[in-house]
């Protein structure tokens, strides 16, 4: 066993961390044998193995909590297999586990079973898009609304709020999806055991109010409008953009806005300023 000095302590600490987080590296066997004391019941490797398994199990539990819908879609065994392989290639490198699964969509893309086939299957694309959606939910829940009042201090708009007083909630993201991800997500949350869906374009907005996330369905035109509104912060300018894009005439867009306005206010995505 090495004697600890201020010079070699950082290296020993790093090697110990690597031994716990990257148990598949053969190069660490020598470190474990040299630096970990065996007992009369367990070898050095067996001692470390207890902590290795506990660490991996904790990360797997964290992954399951971050991707509950993906876990259902894949099934427990396949999800555990993917999670274990993912954690070996993308071990945690942060003091927080909130972003542990951020690279999972890339991992799923790299390891998809039809990667070498000319004709691709649909289900890997669905799993990747679902993983991206659940990551977005995680980020939106934790997002900081810099420059805005805290969630409970925001003034929610109502039917009497004038257009010029309407402002989107600061934590909001619109989605253009290739699958009915939101319907599948809701069905899983309601324990309806939905089957894997077929490809079908869908649009949605996810927002945070009072530290709770809300999901609303959109059509393609509503998606374009809200995307414009996030950029312009002006309802009039956003309506003008739809007219310029020949999505509808001025009269048509105005009629649509009156219906959207009621829907958006009822759903809670507007504050009053």
Containing domain of residue 185, as a range? 146-272
Q: Which of 54, 86, 110 is the last residue of a domain?
A: 110
Q: Are residues 206 and 104 in the same domain?
A: no
Q: Are residues 83 and 176 in the same domain?
A: no
Angle at CA of residue 133, ends 136 and 116, nearest 5°:
125
In the chain, how many domains are there?
2
The answer to whether 236 touches 257, Cβ cutoff 8 Å, is no
Q: Indicate left, alpha or beta for 173 from its phi (over 0: left) and psi (-120 to 50: alpha).
A: beta
Our measurement of the distance from residue 45's CA atom to the centroid of its chain's CA atoms, rounded to an integer in Å, reads 36
Q: Are residues 106 and 16 in the same domain?
A: yes
Q: Are residues 264 and 173 in the same domain?
A: yes
Q: What is the pLDDT of residue 136?
A: 98
* Residue 48 located in a structural domain: yes
Exposed e or buried b per residue across 23-49, where buried means at least 16 C-beta atoms within 10 angstroms of its C-beta: beeeebeebbeeebeeeeeeebbebbe
Closest by Cα among 134, 124, 117, 126 to 198: 126
More confident residue, 49 or 213: 213
Q: Which 3 state secondary structure label does DSSP give 184?
A: helix
Alpha-helical (H) ranges within 22-113 are 28-35, 44-66, 68-74, 76-89, 104-110
Q: What average pLDDT does range 18-26 have in this prediction?
A: 69
* Residue 130 located in a structural domain: no
* Residue 124 located in a structural domain: no
Q: How far, in Å, CA of 98 to CA of 248, rounded?
A: 43
Is the CA virtual torsion 101, 105, 111, 113 positive or negative? positive
Domain containing residue 237: CATH number: 3.90.930
Q: How far, in Å, CA of 180 to CA of 126, rounded?
A: 9
Q: Are residues 151 and 266 in the same domain?
A: yes
When pLDDT is cut at 50, 70 and 90, the band that residue 107 belongs to is: very high
How far apart, in Å, do the first and last CA atoms of the chain sit?
A: 66
Predicted structure pTM score: 0.85
When pLDDT is cut at 50, 70 and 90, the band that residue 108 belongs to is: very high
Q: What does pLDDT average to over the chain?
A: 89
* Residue 224 located in a structural domain: yes
When pLDDT is cut at 50, 70 and 90, the band that residue 42 belongs to is: confident
The answer to whether 214 touches 171, Cβ cutoff 8 Å, is no
* pLDDT of 39 over the 90 cut: no
Q: Which of 59, 89, 110 is the last residue of a domain?
A: 110
Q: Are residues 96 and 189 in the same domain?
A: no
For 174-193, the pLDDT digits (tens) are 999 999 999 999 999 999 99
When pLDDT is cut at 50, 70 and 90, the band that residue 50 belongs to is: confident
For 86-106, the pLDDT digits (tens) are 988 887 777 778 889 999 999
Q: Angle between the 28-35 and 44-66 helix axes, to the nearest 10 degrees? A: 120
Q: Are residues 32 and 101 in the same domain?
A: yes
Q: What is the pLDDT of residue 61?
A: 92
Q: Are residues 201 and 262 in the same domain?
A: yes
Q: Which structure tokens are listed for 268?
A: 């809670």
């Amino acid at each position: 066993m090495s004697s600890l000095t201020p010079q070699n302590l950082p290296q020993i600490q790093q090697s110990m961390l690597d031994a716990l987080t990257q148990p598949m590296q053969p190069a660490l066997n020598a470190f474990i044998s040299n630096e970990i004391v065996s007992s009369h019941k367990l070898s050095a490797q067996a001692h470390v193995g207890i902590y290795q398994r506990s660490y991996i199990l904790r990360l797997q539990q964290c992954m399951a909590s971050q991707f509950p819908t993906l876990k259902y879609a894949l099934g427990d065994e396949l999800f555990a297999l993917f999670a274990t392989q993912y954690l070996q290639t993308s071990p945690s490198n942060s003091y927080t586990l909130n972003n542990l699964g951020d690279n999972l969509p890339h991992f799923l893309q790299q390891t998809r079973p039809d990667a070498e086939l000319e004709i691709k299957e649909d289900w890997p694309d669905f799993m990747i898009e679902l993983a991206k959606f659940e990551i977005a939910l995680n980020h939106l829940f934790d997002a900081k609304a810099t420059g805005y009042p805290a969630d409970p201090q925001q003034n929610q708009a109502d039917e009497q709020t004038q257009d010029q007083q309407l402002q989107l909630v600061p934590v909001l993201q619109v989605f253009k999806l290739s699958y009915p991800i939101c319907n599948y997500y809701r069905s899983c949350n309601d324990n309806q055991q939905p089957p894997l869906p077929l490809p079908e374009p869908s649009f949605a907005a996810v927002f945070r109010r009072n530290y709770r996330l809300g999901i609303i369905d959109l059509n393609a035109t509503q998606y374009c409008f809200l995307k414009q509104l996030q950029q312009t912060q002006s309802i009039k300018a956003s309506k003008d953009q739809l007219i310029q894009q020949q999505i509808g005439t001025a009269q048509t867009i105005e009629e649509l806005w009156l219906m959207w306005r009621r829907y958006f206010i009822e759903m809670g995505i507007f504050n009053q300023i």
